[in-house]
Structure 1
Amino acid sequence: MRVPSDLVEHVAERWGVDDPAWEPILGAGEECLVWALPEAEVVVRAAARHRSTSALRGVYRTVARLGTAVPEVCAPMLDRDGESVSMWSGHPVSLWPLVSGRHIDHRDDDRVAAAAALLARLHAASAAVDDLHPGPVDPPIWPEPLRDALLDERLDALSVDAAYSRGIVHGDFYPRNILDDPHGMLNLIDWDELHTDWYAAETAWAIWEFTHDRDTGLVDMSRARRFLAAYTAAGGQAIDWPTITVLIRRRLRREIADAFIAGTADSPYTRKELAAFDQLAKSSQQEHEPSVLQRIVAV
């Protein structure tokens, strides 16, 4: 990936970082361009053009506040004008500390427990932050396979139920956004999806991301229970399993709807998500741990 010369100049001008060795970081995200500058120990991140510079500045201010309470939070660097984001060729550009380490291994129970504890501490810290960041907006009409009156009814009930707290959530808390450094320190990156939501919604989706098998689609319920136990032991709010099921289906539905809009609904990944969405519906009325979670199969 060739480095645009005007981006190099832009970074030098705005952040005073003049490092000729730009190394592309491939697979860092589906919508952004990322380079590592090893000598300067920074990462340059060019977000997608549809991202709002002003909205990202607000998000990154919140990230910086969270970073004062949670050391694992990787916060952006400010430019010469004290801003975290600058515009280059239609892309919001930001600089971040270069973090060493690999993506956390979702198969390592000890590291997954550490991630669950990190999530609990992040939610506790965000409870002291009164910033408001709107979350994803549901489409006016769901595509036919995603219409589900019972799910809508349960989500409506949750919205008026004071049992589950709301606040700032990372928005994309999954293994590829958690770096595990050689010293055992976790670093939480990629904050563009930060928004206000139920903490339970992020916890439910984290359980899905960390405990379902990527090949078969099966959720390992013993590992899911351990994740939730580690989360609550670190101060996170307990969640009942029917609610977890509802909130996983909520996130699956949004992701599948995005795939419909993007024209990628027929991809193997989306077909597997749709199978999970349908299978989980069968357990949504259970008042106990939904065994159907163990029977989600890949398409």
Structure 2
Amino acid sequence: MHAVLARFGVDEPAAVARTEHGLLNRVWRVDAADGSRWVLKQYLDDAGHASSGAIAAQHATIAALAASGLPTVPPVAADDGRTLVLHRGRRYAVFPFVDGAPPGPLSPRAAAELGTLLGRTHAELRRIQPPVLDPGPHPGSWPTADPEQTRRTITALLGEARARAPRDPFDALAEQRLRERLVLLDAHAHRRPRGAPPAGWVHGDFHPLNLLYRGERVAAVLDWDRLGVKPVAEEAVRAATQFFCAPASGVLDLARVRAYSRAYRAASGHSPEHLGAAVHRVWWERLNDFWMLRWRYARRDDRASELFPAAAAQIVWWCEEYQQVLDAYVN
């Protein structure tokens, strides 16, 4: 580690602490002997996002967004002028440390400011990134979950939950929610989305743990590892379901969603129709998604299990209140 830090001109570390930030990479906070503070990141995700070219492009985008006045944190350059160092087969970058904390509950004003921030980010990405050839809204352009495959997934997960030894209350909850989801699928299978809103560049992982706040102001947008091309308005819809949900029930604060979405549309240029299509696609995605349970039962990894109770409750509520949720995003 010392050899890597030296490449970036970081003074001898006085203290190094591994952080819990991120599921895909390793991150350390480094307090240097000269009083400066840094973040050292080791890229582990090798599924295309962690190639040297992809990371270099990601770093250039972060710097361009910062130059436009957005709260991103560009990496520092190493001794060869690059922002990425290869050491013993692994890629590393160093970022300035930013004081801040994940957001607590946001006021309606702060919710609107968040919508403006994400809208400005999407508009700026549209300006600085390579043009996107959008396949358009026709069916198949951006695939959606197949409910028959979802039923097969549920059947397999039910078997895993019932066979778990020793069983705990989480397994009972998982079994209850999986049976419940089968009923919801039967009721809504005919509503599979047929198209998508316009595609473009997105952050890719815009949620509360990837933003640092000071008070009610965003100090930094972190973790651009999933920068890529997707239906843009879906990121706005997905983010609101995470920022404005009750921790236990998953119920959305629709007044804050409305303030956020209105500000997002004004800053991004996306229309109510775009947001409406995105709401439907994200709702369908959540109805068919079980990644937290797959981590627990297939990968034996419980890091995401604490997210499941609220997420599972939210989709039940969303099915009941679909029109109210849609209205909050588009009106």
Range of TM-score over shorter length: 0.7 to 0.9
Alignment partners' CA distance in 1, 2:308 and 2:246 = 15
**Residues 91, 21 of structure 1: alpha-carbon distance in 2 compared, 3 angstrom cutoff:** same
- 2:139 is matched with none
- 2:3 is matched with 9
Which has the larger displacement, 40-49 or 164-173?
Answer: 40-49
**Residues 170, 44 of structure 1: alpha-carbon distance in 2 compared, 3 angstrom cutoff:** same
Alignment partners' CA distance in 1, 2:3 and 2:98 = 23
1:53 aligned onto 2:51: yes
Pick the structure with greater CA Rg. Answer: 2
The 5-angstrom pairing of residues 106-255 of structure 1 reads: 106-131=105-130, 142=150, 144-145=153-154, 150=190, 153-154=192-193, 156-158=194-196, 164-181=197-214, 184=217, 186-240=219-273, 242-249=276-283, 252=286
Q: Aligned to 2:195, what secondary structure does the other structure show? A: helix
- 1:29 is matched with 22
**TM-score, normalised to structure 1's length?**
0.76
Alignment partners' CA distance in 2, 1:61 and 1:259 = 36
Residue 307 (structure 2) aligned to one of 260, 269, 279: 269
Report how far residue 169 of structure 1 moved.
0.7
Alignment partners' CA distance in 2, 1:211 and 1:242 = 18
| Long gaps (5+) in structure 1 | 1-6, 159-163, 294-299
Counterpart of 1:201, as a letter, is E
| Long gaps (5+) in structure 2 | 133-141, 155-180
Alignment partners' CA distance in 2, 1:40 and 1:89 = 26
Alignment partners' CA distance in 2, 1:231 and 1:167 = 15
Report how far residue 262 of structure 1 moved.
3.4
Counterpart of 2:195, as a letter, is A
Alignment partners' CA distance in 1, 2:326 and 2:9 = 54
Report how far residue 214 of structure 1 moved.
1.3
Higher relative contact order (CA 8 A, sep 6+): 2
Alignment partners' CA distance in 1, 2:305 and 2:216 = 38
Q: Aligned to 1:202, what secondary structure does the other structure show? A: helix
**Residues 185, 9 of structure 1: alpha-carbon distance in 2 compared, 3 angstrom cutoff:** same
- 2:83 is matched with 84
**TM-score, normalised to structure 2's length?**
0.69
Which has the larger displacement, 120-129 or 229-238?
Answer: 229-238
Alignment partners' CA distance in 1, 2:325 and 2:230 = 24
Counterpart of 2:281, as a letter, is L
Alignment partners' CA distance in 2, 1:22 and 1:137 = 47
**Residues 138, 233 of structure 1: alpha-carbon distance in 2 compared, 3 angstrom cutoff:** closer
Report how far residue 225 of structure 1 moved.
0.8
